[in-house]
């Protein structure tokens, strides 16, 4: 069963429905103490980094997720949930993140593309041994909604990139059981559902 963390900033219903559609058991909970009972954890998220991180810490999810990872268990971050994994964000000031993935969350700056990025875009896969993208063709399309992007310090942690606002940004992270995607797999048709299934089956 997959534990979906409810810290007040998530697209919980659509993610839970996606797992239900796949026949995968998942539970939504706002109690960090219950996380330790599960092998897999999903951190969803929509909204602003600062308030989300504050709520995440207030409910004790910050320590719980680090303990979860220290036990060698896997976690998947979606959209804002992915960004919380990094060390810091520049969204509306400087905010400290979880530091699970060293790096920064930066704002898109472009005179050509309208920001935020809202809609479908392709993912260029960076590794043949990817777990998240197993069975998914390179350059498959996923649904994005965001104004900020992740810039991990370690290029080896990048599982996919996407081109927007004049740059190839990191759209997926995968390393040592830590998974994250900037797009919304629960809104990304068959390819997105396969990402969720791959995580559940890992």
Residues noted as catalytic: 79, 184, 186
- Provide the pairing of β-strand 117-122 with 141-146: antiparallel
CA 163-171-169 angle, to 5 degrees, is 45
Q: Are the C-beta atoms of 65 and 121 separated by less than 8 Å? A: no
What are the start-end ranges of the E strands in the chain? 2-5, 26-29, 40-43, 74-78, 86-89, 95-96, 101-107, 117-122, 124-125, 141-146, 148-152, 158-164, 167-175, 178-181
What does the alpha-carbon distance between residue 132 and residue 58 come to, in Å, rounded to a whole number? 30
């Amino acid at each position: 069963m997959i534990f979906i963390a409810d810290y007040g900033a998530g697209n919980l219903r659509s993610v839970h429905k996606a797992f239900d559609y796949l026949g995968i058991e998942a539970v939504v909970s706002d109690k960090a103490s219950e996380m330790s009972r599960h092998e897999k954890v999903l951190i969803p998220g929509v909204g602003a980094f600062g308030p989300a991180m504050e709520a995440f810490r207030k409910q004790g999810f910050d320590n719980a997720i680090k303990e979860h990872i220290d036990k060698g268990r896997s976690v998947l971050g979606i959209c804002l949930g992915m960004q919380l994994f990094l060390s810091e964000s520049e969204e509306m000031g400087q905010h400290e993140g979880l530091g699970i993935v060293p790096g920064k969350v930066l704002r898109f700056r472009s005179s050509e593309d309208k920001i935020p990025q809202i809609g479908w875009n392709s993912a260029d896969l960076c590794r043949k041994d990817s777990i998240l993208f197993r069975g998914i063709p390179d350059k498959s399309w996923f649904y994005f909604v965001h104004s900020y992007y992740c810039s991990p310090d370690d290029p080896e942690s990048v599982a996919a990139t996407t081109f927007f606002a004049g740059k190839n940004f990191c759209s997926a992270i995968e390393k040592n059981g830590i998974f994250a995607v900037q797009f919304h797999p629960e809104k990304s048709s068959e390819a997105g559902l396969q990402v969720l299934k791959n995580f559940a089956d890992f």
